[in-house]
Structure 1
């Protein structure tokens, strides 16, 4: 599969990510467990956007270093692909945020512990998505028809998301949670930020360990949706991976920024559903008419902007809150709520 990726671009990308993660870990350890304020979340969100923009600018400069017009056109095209992919992945990550909020509420995770949980989850997400992207790129290179499978899946997911929008997710019936409860012995309460503790002389997981595992399961589910979406924009492994990873790196800050605004953007799920439908249709039409990347960027931005504006104009319908068993009482030692 063709790619603009060179050893220098790949190594620079790896250095960007390693440095960013190292700085994030250093800041996390220095600050210790604490509740993230809206101001801190906003600052970190802007930092991650700036880091992503810096890499994109450096990549463009590296590709456009030759005075040849064809080289400059290629650099412009790759920058547009990166920007579009980044926006789509960032938008789809919003749904992750609301599910993370539900998981944290269900398990009554103290606000000061949520930051570390998300950090662990993001590291796992980067490794998982890198593997899935390279597998997807290999499959597309070998079997062109797999694009139609991805497109049909995105259309199906978009329809499903539209019908599920506005409904309260039922975490209690989640099969992953039920499996964990049957197979993992869980302590009756939290022990700081520890994932494991000792109860009656036995080594057991804390509720925080269950949360970390569920966050990982959630990311696997959303990766199955988001990765095919980026392949509708470009099949270049470098652009697919970089736009995906940089969008994920800012997910923790995005969570704390949006966690308190769920009701303010109650129509955003409908917008995300339309984005998936559009991207799926684009993929299904790829051999009939290739929708320009600039059009994809404009349509995605317009859908998200309109859905957020309508969220401010249309009041959400009142719906009862779900009961969260872990919020009312600590779970028993076998991981089941009392």
Structure 2
């Protein structure tokens, strides 16, 4: 792509981010459902218009590759929102301040993924075995999505957060949406900055999965960048729009596993088709079937459509929504250091108790399934810890 096309694209993206900050995020508030829906549609509309322009004035294959990459990255971004939701709940971030945290996450993700995009391109250009490596990463990621969740895993207390708390001056108390505050005459980091660091740390891991995936769709670095950037735009609004529906997407991870597995296989087949690695077929190409961009787009759309519909109509989704509510409220109570007073802590405990009671209201036939989900998500252990902590705090 000519330099002027890159320049216009960057100006548009930076302009949208600046607009988001100054007109929506700078003044802390909780967006209404109507506001979230309108701006989500606006950003999706911009992404679609961009793709249609590519189809109209550019190469036909570039348009197909862009839409394949955009839909793939958007789906992966929605999956990332699950982790963001857990982190924000664990840090007990006030609802009106969550927009600022999410916008930081989007900006950090865009920066990190841009670095990974160009690093990935350099790897592809200089090493013929890069596609084999990318394919392996995607196949491993697909397997990881299907693996049971780690009950003891805490995204809000990752290595970056532990290092920050150990070597930097931090406080457990919020000061509005400020990143720094003064405590005992010293300038310290607030939990608002720590939650941003936690989200930024997880974004690095997400980039390691998403960049190999989109390079399986297209090797055009401009299309990779544009699809990645536009998929991240509007993610903040989407968070508030589907907040209550996130837990209903119980089959999304299986759909993503199928898609990433398919793309991983696609990458390996393409690597074999253009093989130059000496120990494989004597360094000669292997005549295997490869998928064209249109096939990839059809598979991505079909799998995502089926998994989303299956999730929304499945009774399991309703159960999972209730289980996740228990888990998040328990984690919010366990991280009591971020609460303002005892009343706020007690409020989170009572929310957890109410969520547990909702689970008990399901019919008896669902109870074995509920117990299994509670164990798999770590909610059972979190509730036990919360009840023990509450008993110690109240003397009951």
Normalising to structure 1: TM-score of the pair?
0.87
CA contact (8 A) 2:90 2:335 kept: no
CA contact (8 A) 2:213 2:260 kept: yes
**Structure 2 equivalent of residue 262 of structure 1:** 246
CA contact (8 A) 1:28 1:116 kept: no
Show structure 1 runs of 5+ residues with no match: 64-74
**Structure 2 equivalent of residue 252 of structure 1:** 236
Q: 2:13 aligns to what SS in structure 1?
A: helix
Whole-Å Cα distance in 2 between the matches of residues 29 and 178 of structure 1?
Answer: 28
Whole-Å Cα distance in 2 between the matches of residues 139 and 146 of structure 1?
Answer: 6
Structure 1 residues 97-112: aligned runs within 5 Å? 97-112=81-96
Q: 1:198 aligns to what SS in structure 2?
A: strand
CA contact (8 A) 2:91 2:156 kept: no
Q: Flag the structure with larger Rg.
A: 2
CA contact (8 A) 1:233 1:293 kept: yes
Structure 1 residues 1-338: aligned runs within 5 Å? 5-28=1-24, 32-63=27-58, 75-164=59-148, 170-171=154-155, 174-286=158-270, 287=273, 288-316=288-316, 319=323, 321=327, 323-324=330-331, 329-331=336-338
CA apart distance, 1:101: 0.3
Whole-Å Cα distance in 1 between the matches of residues 312 and 48 of structure 2?
Answer: 29
CA apart distance, 1:110: 0.6
> Which deviates further from its counterpart, 158-167 or 123-132?
158-167
Whole-Å Cα distance in 1 between the matches of residues 333 and 207 of structure 2?
Answer: 27
Q: Deviations over 1:254-309 (max 9, x none)?
A: 21222221222122111111111111111111123321111111111111111112
Give the direction of change, closer, same or farther, for the CA distance of 1:309–1:60 in structure 2 (3 Å limit): closer
CA apart distance, 1:168: 8.8
Q: Deviations over 1:14-65 (max 9, x none)?
A: 12212212221231257x11112222111111111111122223334443xx
Give 4+ residue runs of structure 1 displaced > 4 Å after superposition.
Answer: 165-169, 317-320, 325-328
CA contact (8 A) 2:124 2:130 kept: yes
Give the direction of change, closer, same or farther, for the CA distance of 1:8–1:62 in structure 2 (3 Å limit): farther
> Which deviates further from its counterpart, 199-208 or 323-332?
323-332
Whole-Å Cα distance in 2 between the matches of residues 126 and 172 of structure 1?
Answer: 21
Q: 2:312 aligns to what SS in structure 1?
A: helix
Equivalent residues, number? 318
Higher helix fraction (1 or 2): 2
Whole-Å Cα distance in 2 between the matches of residues 328 and 19 of structure 1?
Answer: 37
CA apart distance, 1:328: 5.4
Show structure 2 runs of 5+ residues with no match: 274-287, 340-388
CA apart distance, 1:118: 1.3
CA contact (8 A) 1:97 1:254 kept: no
Q: Deviations over 1:219-243 (max 9, x none)?
A: 1111100000000011010111100
Q: Which has the higher contact order (CA 8 A, sep 6+)?
A: 1
Whole-Å Cα distance in 2 between the matches of residues 48 and 298 of structure 1?
Answer: 23
Q: Deviations over 1:73-125 (max 9, x none)?
A: xx111000000000000000111111000000000001110101111221222
CA RMSD, 1 decimal: 2.3
CA contact (8 A) 2:269 2:289 kept: yes
CA contact (8 A) 1:133 1:237 kept: yes
CA apart distance, 1:331: 4.3
CA contact (8 A) 1:107 1:327 kept: no
